[in-house]
Amino acid sequence: MLFVDLCIQGVIQGAIYALIALGLTLVYGLLRILHVAHAALFTLGGYVGVLVTNGSGSFLLALMTAMLVVGVVGMSSYTIIYKPLLNRTPLIALIASIGIFIASEELFRIFFGAYGLSYVSPPLQVQIEILPGISLSQARILVVILAVGLLSGVGWLAINTRMGIAARATVVDPQIAASSGVNVEIIRYGSFFIGSAFAGAAGVMVSLLNNLVEPTMGAVPSYKALAIIVLGGLGSVRGALIASLALGIIESFGTIYVGHLLDRDSIAFAFLIMVLMVRPQGLLVRG
Amino acid sequence: MTYEIVVLTNMAIAVLFALSLNVITGFCGQVSLGHAAFLGIGAYTSAMLSKAGVPIVITFIPAMGMAALIGLIVGVASLRVRHDFLAITTMGVVFLFTGIVRKQELLGGEIGIAGIPAPDFGRIGLLMTSLLCVLAYLLFTIWIRRSWTGFAFDSISEDEDTATLLGINVPKFKLFAFIVGTAGAGLAGALYAHQVRFIGPDSFGFVESISVLAMVIVGGIGSIWGVILSAAFLSALPQFFQVIDDYKLLVYGLLLFGAMRFAPDGIDGLLRKVSRWRAVK
Amino acid sequence: MTTKRLQIKNVSVKFGGLSALQDVSFEIDDNQLLGFIGPNGAGKTTLMRVIMGMITPLSGSVFLDGKNITGLKSVQRIHAGVALGQQIVKPLRQMSLLDNVALASGGAKLLSPLRALMVRERSEEREVAQELLIQVGLGDHAQKLPNELPLGFLKRLEVARALALNPLLLLLDEPLAGLSKPEAEQMADLIASLPRKGLSVIMIEHNLPQVQRVCPTLYVQSNGRALAFGATNKVIAEPEVRRAYLGVDA
Ligand SMILES: Nc1ncnc2c1ncn2[C@@H]1O[C@H](COP(=O)(O)OP(=O)(O)O)[C@@H](O)[C@H]1O
Ligand SMILES: [Mg+2]
């Protein structure tokens, strides 16, 4: 029973990681930049989710608003942070990104207070028995549905639309893509929008699971998401998704079995370092 | 007076810490997002020993040794990964460090180690000791820079494959950089432990690692004088911001962003630009 | 039997499913200039990288002066006497041409950071470097940064830097590519002047007229297989070579 329970917890956590990691992978694939400020977008999603739900009473409206708002803010992060630094060494963009992330944590604190916000009446709390003896709240189930739905949607777009094919070509070789008529800028904005919107959705779901959104909510998941995209082979979307799931499950077992040696958050990095020692290019090579 | 001494000591420790990362990242081109772990290893080693009655200055040696030993291990592991993989691996190191320390009763766990003995040579003595350490380390790194080791570092930091084709044993040089850099961080940690006299896992985390990397980058990667200036400035910054304490991190974050966005070559680049501009006039 | 400068025995390399080299063997004496030709994708660069230890072959071995160097790392092979001028120039752009070459002539210092730490003097190496730069016709540009110079000059820098390693065997990967006709001619003359007792040169080239002009012997490879080896005129005349390389029906 414990085994099944840990697996389920792992899958839910993995689904959240996957939603966050997608945007990081896309940005890395297109720009070769570690987009730390992505974490702030995740947190922003949480705030929008709580505020809109409390204001309007509709969680669905909140989720959609959050994805839209965060997607647009994400696009502007490309304009403001990265675009001017593209021909610098990626380290410069990394530090700039970290600067924005630190500053935005402070902005959240200044605007919304240090102790965070909660849902007045948290939606989707009904427990559903999914297996004999195992019940999950609707919110937890929604996390997995949302992740599977959104990610397969993107997968479909990437394979079946002109934009998607162009985007994949741009990841493989931006110069060739550009010279064969792909508008690289549009691809970048599109990827920032989708990746950020997904992170926003993850933020809403995490804020609902914890019934709390606080300024520092983005830090730990985003560091782990960095670990995930590296594990996945940097720029490989499939690798990142596999790594998300693997990490979710490993953490959920690790907390029980090695929790007395390592805290939950460093299990991810212990795993990361172990994998990189065996496969220095990550689990999958990009593609 | 005490206040000024504390500020100056903090500055000296920050400069030492930044100079040590400058050897790894600036000279040898190996990005580290986890350098605070080695500050922590030095601090914990020195604190434990001096609590056990070892004279403070003596604890500096095992503090450096322990940091360098673990630095060597991390260095060997890092040889397998490059660029962004390396950055994230080193980031992993700092999370592992705090994660392990948190769970170790022996190291004070979450709470940390309190009651670290005050140096018997007093606050001024500690400041002088810190300055001496900075000076010694500074001279050593200047020596490295001007030697053939520094010459080889120049090529490795630019392109390690080409460096190899020129006959440079790249792994050995990288490990040397890791050892010298982490030993320096260990020394800074030992000083730090006796300056604040209370240490916990939160003092050596990811944010501290980023702060020191920011000092190196704002100073101009590899430039010794730029790094000293920026470390002194950035470490003293929070003191200037006492008034706006609430917005300290906001300003700090925006400053990092602004420095990268508008002066990506750092202080070193600015100084060069100014001197070129003067020369033109 | 005298020992050969270089012997390659039954080397095979695969990239995934692609056979880049299949059972390739050949050898070269001291004081030779060997031309190495083959269509694009023939595995020429790959073979150079195998000799340098940058790629581990699936099977086969490499001997330098009769000594098996197959197990050595690149850096050890370089200090054993092999040097490579790469197809794509890789100057160190942060330092002058002089320092690019001087660094390469640092010898044993480059093997140990501790030994390197003891030495600050660079004048001897800079003198050597200056001479080499003069030899390749870059004497006037020693203090310049690579970015201030056109490709043709950087190709020569690549040669000077490889020579600074004081090799027994010099591998040059398309040293004439991208050069204008007079530049290529000059460079080919330079390369032809290099071989001496204690130095053999292998030159990969597509520029057949220059190869025919300066290389007495020729090795041809196609699709990862050795096709022909011998005196240049004979090899060029072989129908197989004409078919594979020149696209001419014999
Ligand atoms: N690192 C590599 N990974 C995969 N395939 C490679 C790699 N290097 C070369 N190849 C392939 O091996 C074949 C031989 O390449 P190469 O040695 O560069 O040929 P040449 O120098 O004769 O033009 C080509 O088909 C090339 O695409
Ligand atoms: Mg080639």
Looking up residue A190, the CATH number of its domain turns out to be 1.10.3470
**Residue A167 in this model has a pLDDT that exceeds 90:** no
Residue closest by Cα to atom 8 of ligand 1 = C46
Number of domains, chain A: 1
CA of C206 to the centre of ligand 2 (A): 10
Domain that holds residue C28: 1-81+167-250
Average confidence (pLDDT) over B220-233 = 89
pLDDT at C174: 93
> Of C136, C164, C192, which residue constitutes the final position of a domain?
C164
Phi, psi for B219 (deg, rounded to 5): -70, -15
Average confidence (pLDDT) over B55-65 = 96
pLDDT at A285: 63
Task: Please tell me whether residues C140 and C151 are part of one structural domain.
Answer: yes
CB B129 within 8 A of CB B57: yes
**Residue B21 in this model has a pLDDT that exceeds 90:** yes
CB contacts of C147 in chain B (<8 Å) are none
**Residue A177 in this model has a pLDDT that exceeds 90:** no
- Ligand with minimal distance to C40 CA: 1
Residue A45 domain flag: yes
pLDDT (tens digit, 9 = 90+) per residue, A269-280?
Answer: 888 888 888 888
B276 and chain A: CB distance < 8 Å anywhere? no
Task: Please tell me whether residues C76 and C102 are part of one structural domain.
Answer: no
Task: Please tell me whether residues C192 and C215 are part of one structural domain.
Answer: yes
Query: Pick the residue with more confidence: B223 or B237?
Result: B223
Residue C88 domain flag: no
Residue C87 domain flag: no
CB A232 within 8 A of CB A21: yes
pLDDT at B42: 98
CB contacts of B152 in chain C (<8 Å) are 103, 106, 109-110, 113, 116
CA of A175 to the centre of ligand 1 (A): 20
Amino acid at residue number B58: I
Which tokens sit at C196? 């001496």
**Residue A71 in this model has a pLDDT that exceeds 60:** yes
Chain A to chain B Cβ contacts (< 8 Å): 133
CA of C236 to the centre of ligand 2 (A): 20
- Closest by Cβ to B260, choosing from A96, A102, A276: A96
CB B253 within 8 A of CB A104: yes
Average confidence (pLDDT) over A100-118 = 92
Distance CA A24, CA A218 (A): 13
pLDDT at B277: 64
Residue A284 domain flag: no
* Confidence grade of residue B263 (pLDDT, cut at 50, 70, 90): confident
pLDDT (tens digit, 9 = 90+) per residue, A226-244?
Answer: 889 888 888 788 888 999 9
Neighbours of B117 (CB within 10 A): 16
CB contacts of C165 in chain B (<8 Å) are 166-167
pLDDT at A204: 96
B205 and chain A: CB distance < 8 Å anywhere? no
pLDDT at C250: 41
pLDDT at A52: 96
- Ligand with minimal distance to C19 CA: 1
Q: Give per-residue burial for A161-172: e unless 16+ CB within 10 Å, then b.
A: eebbebbbbbbe
3-state class (DSSP) for residue B225: helix
Nearest chain C residue (CA) to B160: C92
* Confidence grade of residue A169 (pLDDT, cut at 50, 70, 90): confident
pLDDT at A92: 85
**Residue B187 in this model has a pLDDT that exceeds 80:** yes
Distance CA B49, CA B63 (A): 9
pLDDT at A211: 93
Q: What is the CATH number of the domain that holds C183?
A: 3.40.50.300
pLDDT at B244: 64
- Which secondary-structure segment (H or E) carries C166? none
Average confidence (pLDDT) over B18-44 = 95
Task: Please tell me whether residues C10 and C46 are part of one structural domain.
Answer: yes
Task: Please tell me whether residues C135 and C199 are part of one structural domain.
Answer: no
* Confidence grade of residue B245 (pLDDT, cut at 50, 70, 90): low
Residues of chain C with confidence (pLDDT) below 70: 1-2, 245-250
- Closest by Cβ to B88, choosing from A102, A230, A260: A230
> Of C129, C164, C199, which residue constitutes the final position of a domain?
C164
Alpha helices by DSSP H, listed for chain A, are: 2-31, 38-56, 59-77, 90-112, 138-160, 162-172, 174-179, 184-210, 219-231, 237-257, 264-278
Average confidence (pLDDT) over A30-43 = 91
* Confidence grade of residue A207 (pLDDT, cut at 50, 70, 90): very high
Task: Please tell me whether residues C249 and C172 are part of one structural domain.
Answer: yes
For chain B, domains (ranges, CATH) are 2-280 (1.10.3470)
Q: What is the crossing angle of helices B224-240 and B248-262, to 10°?
A: 150
CA of A236 to the centre of ligand 2 (A): 28
Task: Please tell me whether residues C59 and C137 are part of one structural domain.
Answer: no
Distance CA C135, CA B109 (A): 66
Task: Please tell me whether residues C136 and C187 are part of one structural domain.
Answer: no
A258 and chain B: CB distance < 8 Å anywhere? no
- pTM exceeds 0.90 for this model: no
Task: Please tell me whether residues C12 and C125 are part of one structural domain.
Answer: no
Mutation to probe ligand 1, out of C12, C13, C18 (largest number of atoms < 8 A from CB):
C18
pLDDT at B110: 87
Distance CA B164, CA B157 (A): 12
- Closest by Cβ to C104, choosing from B158, B166, B176: B166
Q: What is the CA radius of gyration of chain A?
A: 19
Q: Taking all residues of chain A, what is their mean pLDDT, rounded to a whole number?
A: 89
C111 and chain B: CB distance < 8 Å anywhere? yes
User: Measuring CA to CA, which residue among B163, B154, B149, B157 is closest to residue C161?
Assistant: B163
**Residue A264 in this model has a pLDDT that exceeds 90:** no
CB contacts of A282 in chain B (<8 Å) are 85
Average confidence (pLDDT) over B212-218 = 88
Task: Please tell me whether residues C7 and C63 are part of one structural domain.
Answer: yes
Task: Please tell me whether residues C10 and C63 are part of one structural domain.
Answer: yes
Which tokens sit at A146? 């949302």
**Residue B253 in this model has a pLDDT that exceeds 70:** yes
**Residue A115 in this model has a pLDDT that exceeds 60:** yes
Number of domains, chain C: 2
User: A281, B85: Cβ pair inside 8 Å?
Assistant: yes
Distance CA A78, CA B214 (A): 21
- Closest by Cβ to B154, choosing from C95, C114, C161: C95
pLDDT at A143: 94
* Lowest-pLDDT choice from A113-122, A123-132, B5-14: A123-132
* Confidence grade of residue A173 (pLDDT, cut at 50, 70, 90): confident
Residue A283 domain flag: no
User: A234, B258: Cβ pair inside 8 Å?
Assistant: no
DSSP label of A80: I
pLDDT at B276: 66
Task: Please tell me whether residues C72 and C102 are part of one structural domain.
Answer: no
pLDDT (tens digit, 9 = 90+) per residue, A2-18?
Answer: 888 899 999 999 999 99
Distance CA C83, CA C77 (A): 8
The ligand 1 atom at the shortest distance from the C-alpha of residue C46 is 17
pLDDT at B210: 86
Distance CA B58, CA C77 (A): 44
pLDDT at A287: 42
Nearest chain A residue (CA) to B206: A223
Residue A287 domain flag: no
> Of C106, C135, C164, which residue constitutes the final position of a domain?
C164
In DSSP notation, C96-125 reads -HHHHHHHHTTGGGGG-HHHHHT----HHH
Domain that holds residue A192: 2-278
Nearest chain B residue (CA) to C122: B148
